[in-house]
């Protein structure tokens, strides 16, 4: 991995950690008056249109070569649809910080998928980073075992979100789509929004009304910041780093999600979380540092 790419990715990793780490505690607030399907359909559509409009304003071509549409569509459906639905439902069923932990098992899934499917065996540094990240996730999961026992569906949905994200990321990285991250992100968000709108119409429970200004504000913030800016940062990171390293770049997000959940929802924060923070921070350092 070129040193320059790691240096370029580092500020994006910091931005991604802040944007996505503070996002999880907002999910239960966003779906108080609208369905999960409606919330996600609105946020993905809005974010995709914002990014493509911004790309057009900057004079960037907003088309994707025809030969790459299959890979882009597959990645969008597997990553964005599975991730957005599963992670939101998980955050409703179990504490938001714990849902974030399960979703961000993605780095572990990514390394395993790349290894199993493409035979790319990780080197010792990456293996150690994966082990540290796994220990960090395990430390965070220990105090939440009662929440998982009471809501096993939340546990399974959290893991499903992480696996879907990993598979979608590997597909996109292998496709190597030659378009700016701004354009690629915008189109993927719009592609993923299509089946969510179908779900919103069929499964949204008829919740078609103007929600309160508080809900509109929360959904508007999630659309602009975590969805638009966060996903743009993520796809830029994927373009700069190998898939397995890009996956590990997100390991600090659940730590910040735990802190945010403790502040907003009085979720637990103690020695287990501090130990996990040390493990995840070390894993991130190993993944991004020079070999």
pLDDT on residue 5:
77
- Residues with Cβ within 8 Å of 247's Cβ and at least 6 positions away in sequence, in order, are 106, 107, 108, 109, 110, 111, 166, 169
pLDDT on residue 220:
94
Under DSSP, the state recorded for 216 is H
pLDDT on residue 254:
75
Q: What's the CA angle centered on 235, arms 230 and 157, to 5 degrees? A: 70
- Digit-by-digit pLDDT tens for the chain (291 residues) are 555 777 788 889 889 888 888 887 788 888 888 888 889 899 999 999 999 999 999 999 999 999 999 999 999 999 888 988 888 888 888 877 677 777 877 777 888 888 888 777 878 887 888 888 788 778 877 777 777 777 888 888 988 988 998 898 889 888 888 999 899 999 999 999 999 998 888 876 555 667 888 999 999 999 999 999 998 898 888 888 887 677 777 777 877 877 777 777 676 667 887 787 778 778 777 776 655
Residue with tokens 């499964």: 203
pLDDT on residue 54:
92
CA 76 from chain centre, in angstroms, equals 12
pLDDT on residue 3:
58
Give start and end residues of each alpha helix (H) in the chain.
Answer: 3-21, 27-30, 36-57, 69-75, 82-93, 96-103, 106-118, 124-141, 145-150, 152-175, 181-203, 213-222, 231-240, 243-248, 253-265, 271-288
Residue with tokens 């996956």: 247
């Amino acid at each position: 991995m070129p040193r320059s790419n790691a240096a370029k990715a580092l500020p994006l990793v910091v931005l991604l950690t802040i944007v996505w780490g503070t996002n999880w505690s907002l999910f239960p607030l966003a779906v108080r008056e609208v369905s999960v399907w409606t919330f996600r359909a609105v946020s993905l559509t809005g974010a995709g249109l914002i990014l493509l409009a911004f790309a057009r304003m900057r004079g960037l071509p907003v088309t994707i070569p025809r030969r790459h549409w299959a890979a882009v569509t597959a990645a969008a459906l597997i990553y964005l649809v599975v991730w957005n639905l599963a992670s939101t439902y998980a955050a409703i069923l179990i504490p938001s910080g714990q849902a974030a932990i399960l979703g961000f098992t993605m780095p572990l899934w990514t390394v395993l998928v790349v290894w199993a499917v493409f035979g790319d065996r990780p080197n010792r540094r990456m293996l150690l980073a994966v082990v540290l990240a796994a220990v960090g996730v395990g430390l965070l999961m220990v105090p939440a075992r009662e929440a998982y026992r009471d809501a096993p569906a939340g546990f399974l949905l959290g893991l499903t979100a992480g696996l879907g994200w990993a598979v979608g990321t590997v597909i996109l990285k292998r496709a190597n789509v030659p378009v700016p991250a701004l354009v690629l992100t915008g189109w993927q968000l719009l592609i993923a929004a299509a089946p969510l709108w179908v779900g919103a119409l069929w499964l949204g429970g008829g919740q078609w009304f103007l929600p309160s200004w508080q809900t509109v504000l929360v959904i508007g913030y999630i659309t602009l910041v975590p969805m638009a800016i966060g996903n743009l940062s993520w796809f830029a990171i994927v373009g700069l780093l190998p898939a397995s390293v890009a996956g590990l770049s997100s390991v600090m997000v659940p730590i910040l999600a735990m802190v945010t959940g403790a502040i907003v929802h009085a979720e637990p924060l103690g020695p287990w979380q501090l130990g996990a923070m040390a493990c995840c921070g070390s894993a991130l350092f190993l993944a991004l540092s020079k070999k």
